[in-house]
Structure 1
């Protein structure tokens, strides 16, 4: 393909932010003129929550900060060089969650966002305003303007039943140690895709599923009514990148999430979970790690092409090489 391909990435989490950075760097290496028309990122907003009166969007902020070059690469979230004076003061008042750290610079983002929301802007409009601060080289869209925060039902051993909590409490406070039995996004069945999401997918030259958590990052995006159908019917090839390398998750607790929906932690099982577009799934190709090359034929038997490439995103060059491999798998 000549010229600038129109790339849509479905993404969330640290893996998503690193992969989106890689896509941008891969286009730069090709000498493609950097415009927001080249890359559209549809970001998971299932992680969002209200805390201490402000609206937090962890995945939105992680990807924004990464593209802006102001993210804390050591922690994988938040702003580089941040302080926590306000967070400490909130804890002295007994406000917020003592186990959920809010950096001072990060709080500035949350306060600005909340003010704009209360002024009547939609999350899409807020994100557009946020993106204007830095030259991101991509257009970021929330998956929906509706609030559809992820709730986890966990097994309550003490009470002998099931109790529910926000995903962030399960993930951050309990480190996914409480056995999940169900993930839900209340209200998502009535949500609409954010303006521009369906149009971007329909007009894309390639759609990429980032190596993000299939259950709580990519899952909520595809659960927004109309998004899965748009991915299934786009004329563009759809390429997913495995978040599993050698039978293990790269980061986080995706293995616990997968087990809760009956999917084993393997590249083959996740490919089967997404399914082939030739059937009722969403994939044309599934990029496998070199460590999982032995299952390439089994993935192909699902009706999904199974190229193999190095998937570790340990630095910017490797992230760009991975993105280039994903684009090559799509023929763009």
Structure 2
């Protein structure tokens, strides 16, 4: 197999683990660094600073400074400033900001207020920690996610996710302003130049969904000369992490690997996929995936470490080469 040019769409902890595997797999091949397009739909302003949870999860994981026990934030972090904020009645008592993590948010906010774009801020962050990938936000626009509840009210995604643990039944998810947003500089160009585009096993609704909703990105995927391969975030009919099943139910999609593949759809129709990786536990639904004109690939999908994640990427790259007839 040649050394492919790869683009990854990713968000959250699942996206971070998968991206570590992408970096490992491409390094073995001597391939160019992948371009990783990060979800920024769950960003927010809190206590006067700009937070980018999915971006930071990717940055911390790639830099090797992430808290692997909690699954978010910096390893070895403390919470003195957060306690002081709570004493002042500032911020959200159920949304913890670590001291080291807050340093990132303060730096980001300062640069944004100086006029830099999120793209430029991430580039600056990458100078401190060589990440081994080219990380881009999906857009430089602010398109934070609002959760519309069944009673007609709306709350920020982070309040619904972190405070209520998705226990409040959602009616819909919205990204105000996204119709006027544009892909961040370099995103569409990277997709157009890629041999392979990989859809990480991130939440299809609130991590990958906002990326695809940025005008121009879905069209770029559909017209991409390379193959588009997705990795199922569902194993054995269950979500691997988080509350993606609640999100899927809100948009009328069954919590199954085949249903999520069908949700993304085939490029031969009006979707974005050429191939779809299924876990061994879901091998019985391969024919169902094929019925949607998507090539099913059955392979182990548990991302226990970077080596296991790299093996998943190997399978995805092989599927991409087969789909392209290379």
Q: Which of the five TM-score ranges fits, normalised by the shorter chain? A: over 0.9
Q: Per the alignment, in what secondary structure is the counterpart of residue 206 of structure 2? A: helix
TM-score, length-scaled by structure 2: 0.97
Is the counterpart of residue 79 in structure 1 residue 78 in structure 2?
A: no
1-structure distance, mates of 2:278, 2:20: 19
Give every structure 1 segment of 4 or more consecutive aligned residues whose post-TM-superposition deviation is greater than 6 Å. Answer: none
CA shift digits 1:111-149 (9 cap, x unpaired): 000000000000000000001111211000000000000
2:201 equivalent among 208, 211, 224: 211
CA contact (8 A) 1:189 1:224 kept: yes
Displacement after TM superposition at 1:38 (Å): 2.4
Matching residue of 1:169: 159
2-structure distance, mates of 1:325, 1:133: 32
CA shift digits 1:36-78 (9 cap, x unpaired): x520000000010000000000000000010000000111110
Matching residue of 2:8: 9
CA contact (8 A) 1:274 1:281 kept: yes
Is the counterpart of residue 88 in structure 1 residue 78 in structure 2?
A: no
2-structure distance, mates of 1:122, 1:194: 9
Q: Per the alignment, in what secondary structure is the counterpart of residue 171 of structure 2? A: strand
Taking the TM superposition and a 5 Å limit, the aligned residue runs for 1:27-38 are 27-30=26-29, 32=30, 37-38=32-33
What are the ranges of 5 or more consecutive residues in structure 2 without an aligned counterpart? none
TM-score, length-scaled by structure 1: 0.96
Taking the TM superposition and a 5 Å limit, the aligned residue runs for 1:1-332 are 1-2=1-2, 4-30=3-29, 32=30, 37-155=32-150, 161-331=151-321
2-structure distance, mates of 1:310, 1:98: 39
Displacement after TM superposition at 1:169 (Å): 0.1
CA contact (8 A) 1:5 1:38 kept: no
Displacement after TM superposition at 1:194 (Å): 0.2
RMSD: 0.9
What are the ranges of 5 or more consecutive residues in structure 1 without an aligned counterpart? 156-160
2-structure distance, mates of 1:162, 1:179: 11
CA contact (8 A) 1:287 1:307 kept: yes
Displacement after TM superposition at 1:315 (Å): 1.4
2-structure distance, mates of 1:132, 1:328: 32
Displacement after TM superposition at 1:323 (Å): 1.2
Q: Per the alignment, in what secondary structure is the counterpart of residue 162 of structure 1? A: coil
Aligned length: 322
Displacement after TM superposition at 1:317 (Å): 1.5
Matching residue of 1:158: none
